[in-house]
A and B are shown apart, each in its own frame.
Chain A
Amino acid sequence: MYPQNFYFTKDHEWVAVDGDTATIGISDFAQKQLGDVVFVEQPEIGKVLAVHQTIGSIESVKAVSEVFAPVSGEVTAINAELGTAPEAVNQDPHGKGWIIRLKMANQADLGALMKAADYEKYLEGLTH
């Protein structure tokens, strides 16, 4: 169920890479854990993020959780539709629920991330 061409973090963010553009969101597992998302805090376009720096936060009916940058780079786009429809994170976490796009500073950052198959194994370890 997790897209084969995506990269994943232990904190449950995903990254989809197209050239030097990285699109970032949270995984289906993460949205299920959070429950109904009611607000997504996003950074300003142009902000430069280091690996594991806070992108923003996601507020659900249960809790507020931080979202961390899986790769470093400059924010080139944010998903403005989440402002009025944060439920996209629940409904389509790997698609319409994307959060930001970065211009990647270092392709090597991807080396520290998991591919879908490894992420699924990692999730199995968490739920047992």
Chain B
Amino acid sequence: MIREPLIFELSAKGKRAYAMPALDVPEAKGALDGLAVRDGIEGFPEASEVEIVRHFTRLSQQNYCVDEGFYPLGSCTMKYNPKINEKIAALPGFAGVHPYAPADTVQGCLEVLKRTEDYLCEITGFEAFTLQPSAGAQGELTGIMLIRAALAKRGNPRKVVLIPDSAHGTNPSSAHLSGYAVQEIKSNPDGGIDLEELARCMNEDVAALMVTNPNTLGVFESNIRRAAEIVHAKGGFLYMDGANMNALTGIARPGDMGADVLHVNLHKTFSTPHGGGGPGSGPVGVVKEMVPFLPTPYVVRTANGYGLDDDRPDSIGRVRGFYGNFLVVVKALTYILALGPEGVREIAEIAVLNANYIRKSLEGIYNLPYDAPSLHEVVFDDKIQKDAYGVTNLDIAKRLIDYGFHPPTMSFPLIVHGALMIEPTETESKRDLDGFIETMKTIAEEAKADAGLLKAAPHHSFVRRLDETAAARNPVLKWEKPKSE
């Protein structure tokens, strides 16, 4: 396979992808000086149109995407994104609208925002949502800022946020950025919240407990209501990370579990593209006490339709320009409306069924470090293959590429060494799941027969195994012109 050159390497001086007609009016010399004319950029690539088109088309063909095949990247919910979403979001009334347009000229867009908020409230059990945050991590940050604002209003913002050791790494970051110290809580032997440990750590310095439910092992936190009671009894808030909402839609509501704040990822649960194809969207839902603190402008119903409310003195203010990633919201609303209530429930039902089908089919062939019942994803590890043949989760993941699958999430959650976290989503048919399961069985056989084959994988991809350690230790972040030229 010939390596695709960088665009810089394709460059030749003076090449252009366009040709302007000769100037037929006097040149306005100096008219833009100091305003819009930037200095030249040394080494800026110059190429013809066909070279540019072919270069990026070739690169795109080397990529792997959810439109191409199974993408079981656990915790990321890489479901198929129906094309109707794109069609609706491309309507000129949505795609062409100006963010500064007066509210009375964009009533349809405001209705989209309000109805999406209504549906999210219905699905999750909260009083209100902000749709501003750009993605999950910003949603979390917004959520913790809302908790801080609500506690400050009560008189004391407090100092500590409790986070289980199985959490997404963004949880401690969000707490830290909001000025809180992070205290880690060890999981119980089933991988869930240890209530005794929680009760021991919970005091009047603790602002919140951040919990992902189902947690990153794909296990439902059946103690969630007890945990909420423990936190509420000391005046703290329960933050729920809704990254795994795909296991709950239409079945159970975080608001009913005692959560006070929740972020959901429209780009996971509600089928808007992500992973390079984004942008994302991370709406945050809150209980009644926290509604006054939501970011502004907040969409409200008025006598004549919809309006934008900026006059909310307790608001934490804007967390993003304009109204968030509006077209992502349009896609999510399309998805919700296309599915309807029955369909929204089926998301969770089929997602959980698919994960458990994979679990049952591979149990015993791959080790299950935690055997509590799985919801929408299942976490295996490499213990069986590693102990017997020295084959690691990395080798298994790389070999999957040879068979045309995107690898599962690896080495996460951190409490599982050698983790392989598989989330099939509801998208996959039984036939596709069977194809993946057979391949995982084949790879387990290969580990036994020829470990070296896996150690050297992938063999059939555009690039072979990369030295990730060398890349991280000595990153080359900038192209430099070879000295010989």
Query: Shortest beta-carbon distance, B307 to chain A, in Å?
Result: 45
Residues in A with CB closer than 8 Å to B417 are: 33
The interface residues of chain B, by DSSP majority, are classed as: mixed
Contact of B468 among A33, A61, A64, A87 (CB under 8 A): A61
State the B residues within 8 Å of A (CB). Answer: 169, 410-411, 414, 417, 468-469, 472-473
Question: Interface of A with B (CB < 8 Å)?
Answer: 33, 36, 38-39, 59, 61-64, 86-87
User: Which residues of chain B are within 8 angstroms of A63 by Cβ–Cβ distance?
Assistant: 411, 414
A61 B414 Cβ-Cβ under 8 A: no
Q: Which residues of A contact B468 (CB under 8 A)?
A: 36, 61
Contacts of B411 in A (CB 8 A): 62-63
- Name the residue on A nearest B172 (C-beta): A66
Look across to chain A and name the residue whose beta carbon is closest to the beta carbon of B419: A62
B469: chain A residues at CB < 8 Å are: 36, 38, 61
The interface residues of chain A, by DSSP majority, are classed as loop
Query: Can you identify 20 A-B contacts, CB atoms within 8 angstroms?
Result: A33-B417, A36-B468, A36-B469, A36-B472, A38-B469, A38-B472, A38-B473, A39-B472, A39-B473, A59-B472, A61-B468, A61-B469, A61-B472, A62-B410, A62-B411, A63-B411, A63-B414, A64-B169, A86-B473, A87-B473
CA distance A86 to B473 in the complex (A): 8
Cα–Cα, bound, A59→B468 (Å): 13
Chain A residues near B410 (CB, 8 Å)? 62
The CA-CA distance from A63 to B419 in the complex, in Å, is: 12
Which of B414, B417, B468, B469 is packed against the most chain A CB atoms within 10 Å? B469
Q: How far is the CA of A81 from the CA of B417 in the complex (A)?
A: 29
In the complex, besides A36-B468, A61-B468, A62-B410, 6 extra interface pairs with C-beta distance below 8 angstroms are: A36-B469, A38-B469, A39-B473, A59-B472, A61-B472, A63-B414
Chain B residues with CB below 8 A from A87, complex form: 473
What A residues does B414 contact at CB under 8 A?
63
Most A Cβ at <10 Å: residue of B410, B414, B473:
B473
